Structure 1
Amino acid sequence: MAKEKEFEEELRRGLKERHIQLIALGGAIGVGLFLGSATAIKTAGPGLIFSYIIAGIFILFMMRSLGELAVSYPVSGSFSAYANKFLGPLAGYITGWTYWFMWIVTCMAEITAVGVYIHFWLPDLPQWIPALLALVAMTVVNIVAVSAFGEFEFWFALIKVVTIVVMIVLGGLMICFGLGNGGVPIGITNLYSHGGLFPLGLKGIILSLVMVMFAYVGIELIGVTAGEAENPEKTIPAAINKVLWRILIFYVGALGVIMSIYPWNQLGTIGSPFVLTFNKLGITAAAGIINFVVLTAALSSCNSGIFSTGRMLYNLSLQNKAPKIFGKLSKRHIPFNGILVSFCFLFIGVVLNYLVPAQVFIYVTSVATTGAIWTWGIIVLAQLKFRASLTADEVTQLKYPAPFYPVSNWATLIFLVFVLIIMAFDADTRVALYVSPIWFGFLLVCYYAFGLHKSSDSSVSKDVS
């Protein structure tokens, strides 16, 4: 296939298969599962399990679309580069900068959270100190080598995975054999004894979809890693193929165990479901264990954010949609300038978070939620256009074709629009629908004011040999 400028990256392929596998796995497991699941359970009860399955199906369709593109064009610019080629320069520009901003805002919150989690053990330590140390440490990891990033993500993800697996296994023993309950099996009656499987009806399932979708933010990171994967044709499909099973095991399995052990209508008022479950098993250090896990989850998010923002600025520069300085690589083939700029924005964000009212910070963070939905939609649309551009013979030569094309594409797009509509019915999420147009409007003004629409010259829009 012909290559364009934004696909001619010079990054070093230092991510091994085990790195890609755990990055894909860790991207789908965030702090929301450990701390935020109680709120989601209050919204839908046991029906939340079905919400995760429903949303998981469309996330899988989106990931398969991403997989088809990533194997055909394994670049770190990923969805921004694909949007630029198949949907036009403006789409690539908006997608790249929106994804960059999404991670900057997310990392601001995560770095600040590190200070809160450390406060659990060191209550007298000012929160800004661990927040700053975390930012500096994760930045150093990213500028050393891509393999260092991969190694840290591997272990961060492994901690989360082991915690959930242990909870599911021990919880299962409690349900089936009465472990930690005096030898009396708890059973699964709590799943349907408090108003049935759908105690809050269809409305509960629908409203919980917003929180469920937000829990999946970061799963698309595997597309950004494709540009530095040692063998993308093998590692990307292997990681994506396991997405559905991960969703079923880690989300559905964990929540099923939790709501079997505790009545769902008690969970929203008595703390983290994971802490409660470990406590019931007689693990007295449960709160400390979960605090350590969410600390590593926050560090993982920060690590991933610095990685992806640096790569996105690098590829935007190749598209002529960001300053040329971001297109330069260090001797280790790392987009150092992009990482450094992201570090500066994150540093400002940590300071601002202590100076401005919390409500203002929530408004800015809301853009990240719609930014994720925008990115997922662009991935599906880009793959739709990519497949339509191929001849019948070229389709048969695809190494990792997305299934059910084009039905899965349109079904996923309709579902994403449906989630946006649901956001309008909740005061906490409705603000995102107000703030996001301001962000997109700002990008459009910059696009034309700085003449970026004129920079889409033949070096980008035309094939090169």
Structure 2
Amino acid sequence: MTQASPTPPDEPHLQRNLTNRHIQLIAIGGAIGTGLFMGSGKTINLAGPSIIFVYMIIGFMLFFVMRAMGELLLSNLNYKSFIDFSADLLGPWAGYFTGWTYWFCWVVTGIADVVAIAAYTQFWFPELPQWIPALAFVALLLSLNLVTVKMFGELEFWFALVKIVAILGLVATGLYMVFSGFTSPSGRTAQLANLWNDGGMFPNGLMGFFAGFQIAVFAFVGIELVGTTAAEAKNPERTLPRAINSIPLRIIMFYVLALIAIMAVTPWRDVVPGKSPFIELFVLAGLPAAASVINFVVLTSAASSANGGVFSTSRMLYGLSQEGDAPKAFGELSGRSVPANGLYFSCSCLLLGAVMIYLVPNVVEAFTLITTVSAVLFMFVWTLILLSYLQYRKHRATLHQASKYKMPGGRFMCYVCLAFFAFILVLLSLEADTRSALVVTPIWFVLLAVTYQFVRSKRHPRTAVRNG
């Protein structure tokens, strides 16, 4: 394994201040999307109980993407994120496309999160104009992220903890209702048999099962966030493998058990697509504050996503600047070793969310198209991680042999995952709303291709991340 060459003491550099506790919870927070809380009603309605298999299959595939990312990051500790290894292994164009695409993904997702936070805040303060909490939240995120990277880790730790407690609470409540023989006001008895006694596990057939993939894949956006922490993890050779290896357990605990609990208590046909099944289960259980509690959880989940977005976009801009693919100002660190200019720029983009709320109060629906575009672009980033791994296996065989964290299945599983992403794209083309997102996505790549020609002509050579 190639070790990082020591950074000169007088040269500012990112600090390794994220502990194992931070990395583990950042990984968990990235794996649990807001879509699980708010979007699972629609996925259950589409796929029925087979939605359990949908989440398991997506989680299984993304586990291998994360293992490929983990082996690559640990093969050379000069790699700060997947920008570095994609640029090194696939060529400078890949670093440019990966970095700017990932930045765009998180800015779009962050704007949607800011809009969502404003909407959730109205639950408690209906008279408050939505742009006020949006503005306040962006200001809070910026100020806390400017302090130190450890502050980001602390924020993400507590945000993720709230989501974990909510899901464990739901699973425990559901199991209690099943084992106590709870009967709902409509006469439905809570039992595991509800999973298969109404049309079996695939009540809507194969097409219903496939339809679940279109929405469920969006719930996993952010799972790669742990890959942007590599340069600031205290002991990456220990913490990154632990975080990545626990992904299967997280998928089972947070997705599969939660969905089983929901459908055991409320038969899948009774789940209302437009409502959060989390709220419905807690209301059935007699928790009077269920709506308030889940509103707080979902607000926290959106805040966690926005916080991760602010962190990762600033680090992406820092990496792009180091490559010569972004203005030099983004490569400068503050006295606290934080890429402050990147934080200012990304938070300024998030403020567009507050501006749009002010100009167009009912803006939430307008984000359906652009967040779908974002999710498709996340799949592009995952694909480049796999392609980088294939190049690594071809041209860095000695590094692979020396690796203590080899990707299971190697090249074969890379091809399986790539085929799976192609399958998802085909599914997205079948529905009108997601098809329109697929149609506009190429515009982004055309824009990148044009700007890359301009940047390449002005590129300054980089000295860092080569294996030699």
Aligned position for 1:87: 90
CA, structure 1 residues 206+274, in 2 after alignment: closer, same or farther (shift >3 Å)? Answer: same
Q: List per-residue Cα deviations over 1:96-133 (Å, max 9, x = no partner).
A: 00100100010101011111111001110111111111
Q: Does 1:255 align with 2:259?
A: yes
2:17: which partner in 1?
A: 14
Distance 1:426 1:5 in 2: 52
Unaligned ranges ≥5, structure 2: none
* Within-5 A mapping of 1:402-413: 402-413=407-418
Corresponding residue for residue 447 of structure 1: 452
> Corresponding residue for 1:438?
443
Amino acid at match of 1:431: S
Q: How far 1:54 sits from its partner (Å)? A: 1.1
Residue in 2 aligned with 1:370?
Answer: 376
- Residue 382 of structure 1 deviates from its aligned partner by 0.8
- 2:275: which partner in 1? 271
CA distance in 1, matches of 2:357, 2:274: 28
C-alpha separation in 2, matches of 1:361 and 1:76 = 34
**What is the number of residues matched between the two proteins?**
460
Contact map agreement 2:330 2:339 (CA 8 A) in 1: yes
1:341 alignment partner, one of 339, 345, 365: 345
Structure 2 CA distance for partners of 1:283 and 1:10, relative to 1, 3 Å: same
Matched, 1:201 2:236: no
Which amino acid letter does the alignment assign opposite residue 429 of structure 1?
T
Distance 1:65 1:116, change over 3 A: same
Secondary structure, counterpart of 1:220 in structure 2: helix
The residue that corresponds to 2:155 in the other structure is 152
Match of 1:386 in 2: 392
- Answer whether contact 1:77 1:316 (CA < 8 A) is retained: no
Instruction: Output aligned runs, 1:160-239, within 5 Å.
Output: 160-178=163-181, 186-239=190-243
TM-score by length of 1: 0.94
**How far has the Cα of 1:15 moved from its partner?**
0.4
Residues 103 and 295 of structure 1: CA distance in aligned 2, closer, same or farther (over 3 Å): same
Report the equivalent of 2:318: 314
Given the alignment, which residue of 282, 295, 299 partners 2:303?
Answer: 299
> Which digits, 9 at most, give the CA deviation of each residue in 1:252-294, with x for residues without a partner?
1000110111111121257211011111111111000000000
SS in 2 for 1:125: coil
Cα distance in 2 for partners of 1:234, 1:42 equals 41
Report the secondary structure of 2:408's partner residue: coil
**TM-score computed with the length of structure 2 as normaliser:** 0.93
* Matches of 1:129 and 1:155, distance apart in 2: 24
Shift of 1:464: 8.0
Name the residue aligned to 2:328: 324
List alignment gaps of at least 5 residues for structure 1: none
Name segments (4+ residues, structure 1) moved above 6 Å.
2-6
Counterpart amino acid of residue 445 in structure 2: F
Match of 1:51 in 2: 54
CA distance in 2, matches of 1:431, 1:181: 41
1:415 matched to 2:420? The reply is yes
1:120 corresponding residue in structure 2: 123
Q: Deviations over 1:276-328 (max 9, x none)?
A: 11111111110000000001111111111110000000000011100111110
In the alignment, the residues of structure 1 paired with residue 177 and residue 276 of structure 2 have an alpha-carbon distance, to the nearest angstrom, of 18
Distance 2:91 2:44 in 1: 41
Cα contact 1:76–1:312 (8 A) shared by 2: no
Q: CA separation in 2, counterparts of 1:371 and 1:226?
A: 22
RMSD: 2.3
- Give, in whole Å, the separation in 1 of the partners of 2:260 and 2:465: 52
d(CA) in 2 for partners of 1:270 and 1:380? 36
Partner of 1:123: helix, strand, or coil?
Answer: coil
Preserved contact between residue 114 and residue 306 of structure 2 (Cα < 8 Å): yes
The aligned residue for residue 350 of structure 1 is 354
Letter in 1 for 2:173: L
Q: Is the 8 A contact 2:189 2:265 kept in 1?
A: no
**Shift in alpha-carbon separation, 1:464–1:279, aligned structure 2, 3 A:** closer
Q: Amino acid of the residue matched to residue 392 of structure 2? A: F
